Amino acid sequence: MSSEFGRNIRVSVFGQSHGRAIGVLIDGLPAGELVDEEELAAFMARRRPGKDALSTARHEADIPIFLSGVKDGRTCGSPLCAVIENEDMRSSDYDELLDSPRPGHADYTAWVKWGGLADMRGGGHFSGRLTAPLCIAGGISKQILARRDIHVGAHLAEVAGIPDDVFPLSPTPELFRQVAEKTFPVLKDAAGENMKSAILKAAEVGDSVGGVIECAAIGLPSGLGEPMFEGVESQLARALFGIPAVKGVEFGAGFTSARLTGSQNNDLFFVEDNNIRTKTNHCGGILGGITNGMPLMLRTAIKPTPSIALPQQTVSLSRRESVELVIKGRHDPCIAHRVVPVIEAVTACVLLDMMFDRLENFTQE
């Protein structure tokens, strides 16, 4: 149950960082949907490491192999399983960590939970590497949603305190496309350059930085979501907090709304082309857990990469005494930019699941 989300379209992730393969099982997809492997590869490339000095040197081809659920390039109604075989692993880097948990990682809590029984090489099942299969599920979900004119896009809203622009009130698919094609996913390139400098500066001193990601979904029907605990916010938050390094989730104005007055924060209704819209979108497109037809807007906080080159104090689990730890191996001085497509992916999966009873098997095209 732990590595699974969704109610009608369920996404289950499996694999350990240094195991034989990682993968995803998706149960409940409509049949007849084209799986455009080229488009999927382009989407997955956005989270792949090793592109420049900003990220780890680990190289993974990350090519999904479809074991089931796809026939002649289309979904066929039965559960879809796709795997990525692991390669380029250096498990020896992790040998000494078994007794000395890395600060900020799940090493310690995994040791408490499973004793030494977990496979924690490379972070095991907790590794950011598990976001690759999430991107397979999300990439397919994005394709299916796009055929219904629903689009999900995201950008780096902030790195090391340096802000990007914010999404406009009504983002367009074209805007999402433009950001997705950039090697560094920001709206304002000048802000992106500053962010990159901050990342490289942190890297130079063996440190790391975090960031904030803004994500939007456009084209959603109004009336999506159920009251209270099956509301859009509840379902998205549950899934988003499953992504490693996410420590905060807010919708619309979020924590900022707590500082506004009611008259500032309320989004006033008006009629435009016979459609009911709101002048602002502080609620992020959700009222009472249900979509109101305005763009869905959310932000997630990504903590700085816990793996840093600087020496850190930790403990020896066996000797119960303090030790100094120096983490070897390759690490990202920032992961926030690589998490951008992962946020899109998980958001798309949840929205597709919530759209479940409005989808039909899709034969045309």
Site for a copy of itself in 44-73 (CB under 8 A): 65-69, 71
Pair 23, 126: CB distance under 8 Å: no
- Secondary structure (H, E, C), 60-94: CCCCCEEEECEECCEECCCCEEEEEECCCCCHHHH
Nearest alpha carbon to residue 358 among 219, 171, 238, 235 = 219
Q: Segment near a copy of itself (CB under 8 A), from 110-118, 141-149, 168-176, 188-196?
A: 110-118
Handedness of CA 309, 311, 312, 314 (dihedral sign): positive
**Nearer Cβ to a copy of itself, position 148 or 303?**
303
Question: Bridge-partner residues for 301, per DSSP?
Answer: 212, 248
Question: Bridge-partner residues for 118, per DSSP?
Answer: none
In angstroms, give the least distance from the CB of 40 to a copy of itself: 17
In angstroms, give the least distance from the CB of 42 to a copy of itself: 23
Nearest alpha carbon to residue 31 among 80, 64, 66, 67 = 80
Q: Per CB under 8 A, does 99 bind a copy of itself?
A: no
Site for a copy of itself in 215-254 (CB under 8 A): 222-223, 225-231, 233-235, 237-242, 244, 246-254
Q: Per CB under 8 A, does 212 bind a copy of itself?
A: yes
Q: Per CB under 8 A, does 354 bind a copy of itself?
A: no
Q: Per CB under 8 A, does 365 bind a copy of itself?
A: no
Q: Per CB under 8 A, does 352 bind a copy of itself?
A: no
Interface size with a copy of itself, residues (CB under 8 A): 148
In angstroms, give the least distance from the CB of 56 to a copy of itself: 14
> Which of 146, 289, 328, 329 contacts a copy of itself by CB under 8 A?
289
- Residue that has been written with the tokens 């549950």 in this structure: 238
Q: Segment near a copy of itself (CB under 8 A), from 43-51, 135-143, 157-165, 186-194?
A: 157-165
Cα gap 19→311, rounded to integer Å: 28
Site for a copy of itself in 320-339 (CB under 8 A): 320-322, 336
Pair 199, 159: CB distance under 8 Å: yes
